[in-house]
Structure 1
Amino acid sequence: MDRIDAMRAFIAVVNEGSFTRAADRLDLSPQLVSKYVSQLEQHLGTRLLNRTTRRIHLTEAGTRYHLRAVQVLNDIDDMENQMGDMHTEAKGVLRISAPVSFAIRHLAPLLSDFQKAHPAVSIDLQLNDRKVDILEEGFDIALRIGQLKSSSLVAKRIAPIRLVMCASPAYLAEHGTPENPEDLSGHRYLRYSYMDPAAIPEVLQWIKQTTPSRGSGMVSNNGDVLVEAAIAGAGITLQPSFISGSAIRNGQLQVILSKYEPEPMGLYAVYAHRQLLASKVRSFVDFMDGYFGDPPYWDRFD
């Protein structure tokens, strides 16, 4: 048994949800894919998949093995692609999807520096806060912010994204500064409509105790608008520091409830696959790594 082939077969079955679809993806017969997985289970001495006539389910051992196997095969693919990239110049059109506010505030210098380092690459940047389908819409790479769920896409974490609750000093002077989550009751809240409740459930639970349901507050699908409204004294908002950081630094906004700050989310570079990855994509992902600093420059307001 070739363990690498068996691992690839197992991962394909998990990602595709069936032996037949995995076989189509790998250009193998379903029987051979099934044989690979069975041999892998025999080699490990444990069952990785529970099979029924309609579905397959990972066992506990299968879940653990899948995570490690993906990492191992990604490392192998990385090593082989890096050897090939030594002889391949990054070139062509790089199509990028990125969140609106982040791109407007922070992406232009990076793109300029990247093109200076890779002059044969041209950039097609599309801004959109919705989650684009990379394959269907023809993007090479998407920048996404959040707590990413597992998928067949490859995601590289580029930088942490802090969420800070803040308001203008004038608003807090008039309405009081909350010291605990319970103190949010009665305040006006400026809510971002695309906020993922699963990413910050505790914070959104506190927000439910506030008064927007009684007509006080604001909802928008753009964080810049909400930050500008907060600066103008319209209420309290929970926003990424890459939007609010400069206003906090110059005193236009004041951080509140800092000890209740949610766990940071992440800025991720997401792309379709590692195998035979185009040099333009790999070069861009590598160029982004560490570009914004550690911590990112927009967080240097504490």
Structure 2
Amino acid sequence: MDKLTSMSVFVRVAKAGSFAGGARDLGISRAMATKHIMQLEGTLGTRLFNRTTRSLSLTEVGASYLERCQQVLVEVEEMEAAVTHLQTEPRGILKISAPPVIGATHIARAVAEFLKIHPDLTVDIILQGSPGDLIDEGIDMAIYLGALADTSMVARKLASSSLVVCGSPHYLEQHGIPKTPEDLAEHSCLVNWAIAPRNKWQFKSEAGYIVMNVSGRMQANVADPIRIAAINGLGLVMLPTYIVGRDIEKGNLKVVLENYSLPPLDIYAVYPHRKYLSAKVRSFMDFLQEWLVPRVSMPGTE
């Protein structure tokens, strides 16, 4: 039998002054209440009650044990309440992994706003190209971009960002404007390794999907180096609008192949466990989804 349950039965029986009264309070049979007390007495090697046909009273040991049981049960109740509070109120340390560009911009801004409304929470942000080993690194949640690889982790899609192909006005003047995806074979395409699948740009036309193998004078595992290279006329880039939106608005980059739709860049939250998800992770994912949706799909939004 569960000892905490037996202790609870003992306390109720002692307060009621009878096995029948304690059993009635707990909604169990008198026989079951008696069995719990006998189990405790057998474990302790002593009698807890003086029993007669007319009365039930605590022994000296029983009176001392009652006081200790009440303390233990109160502590257990407080501990369970604290754990439940952790499941309902964001608190403690939330450790997040995110790709450098979106992590240093949108995720960082979302975290700042989230912390304003949750004063008991602390956030650690790790900026890295891949989510890493969430369990070994103690990461509560990782932001993942692009096609989701097979993983034992649990994933939740947060938002999608439009992808565009663009280049600087100077580059387009020098090398021409591509009219179809096939024209990219004649262009320097600056590749972001962080967007899967690597070195492949996919388009959709009325005839179906077109996948182009691309290459160029520069590749990088994060977006900023190739964005800067594109602005400086070194080639074309395929990047989400949350990264190049401002450059497009300022005229530093010009969108091409607008007649060919590109699959959006999906943004996921990846985390280790589905069961008993902590309040800090669950609340931040909900908050982040509301934060990202209106900000990542439109050029130039914050």
TM interval, short-chain normalised: 0.5 to 0.7
The one-character-per-residue Cα deviations of 1:45-86 (angstroms, maximum 9, x if unpaired) are xxxxxxxxxxxxxxxxxxxxxxxxxxxxxxxxxxxxxxx669
Give TM-score scaled by structure 1 length: 0.64
Q: Aligned partners of 2:86, 2:195: CA distance in 1, in Å?
A: 41
Matched, 1:300 2:295: no
Q: Aligned partners of 2:151, 2:271: CA distance in 1, in Å?
A: 11
**In terms of Rg, which structure is larger?**
2
Q: What are the residue-to-residue correspondences of 1:1-302 with 2, within 5 Å? A: 88-149=88-149, 151-197=151-197, 202=202, 205-208=211-214, 212=216, 217-294=217-294, 296=295, 299-300=298-299
Give TM-score scaled by structure 2 length: 0.64
Q: Aligned partners of 1:94, 1:222: CA distance in 2, in Å?
A: 24
Mean Cα displacement is larger for which, 87-96 or 136-145? 87-96
Aligned residues between the structures: 212
Q: Which runs of 4+ in 1 moved over 4 A?
A: 84-87, 198-201
Contact 1:147/1:199 (<8 A) preserved: no
Q: 1:249 to 1:207 in 2, by over 3 A?
A: farther
Q: 1:157 to 1:191 in 2, by over 3 A?
A: same
Contact 1:146/1:266 (<8 A) preserved: yes
Q: Aligned partners of 1:233, 1:198: CA distance in 2, in Å?
A: 22
**Amino acid of the residue matched to residue 206 of structure 1?**
M
- Deviation (angstroms), 1:257: 0.8
Q: Aligned partners of 1:229, 1:115: CA distance in 2, in Å?
A: 35
Contact 1:100/1:128 (<8 A) preserved: yes
Contact 2:162/2:241 (<8 A) preserved: yes
- Deviation (angstroms), 1:282: 1.1
CA RMSD in angstroms, aligned pairs only: 2.5
- Deviation (angstroms), 1:131: 3.3
Q: 1:255 to 1:301 in 2, by over 3 A?
A: farther
Q: Aligned partners of 1:166, 1:301: CA distance in 2, in Å?
A: 15
Unpaired stretches in structure 1, ≥5 consecutive residues: 1-83
Q: Aligned partners of 2:202, 2:132: CA distance in 1, in Å?
A: 27
- Deviation (angstroms), 1:198: 7.4
The one-character-per-residue Cα deviations of 1:124-143 (angstroms, maximum 9, x if unpaired) are 10000123111121100001
Q: SS at the partner of 2:259?
A: helix
- Deviation (angstroms), 1:197: 2.1
Unpaired stretches in structure 2, ≥5 consecutive residues: 1-83, 204-209
Contact 2:242/2:300 (<8 A) preserved: no
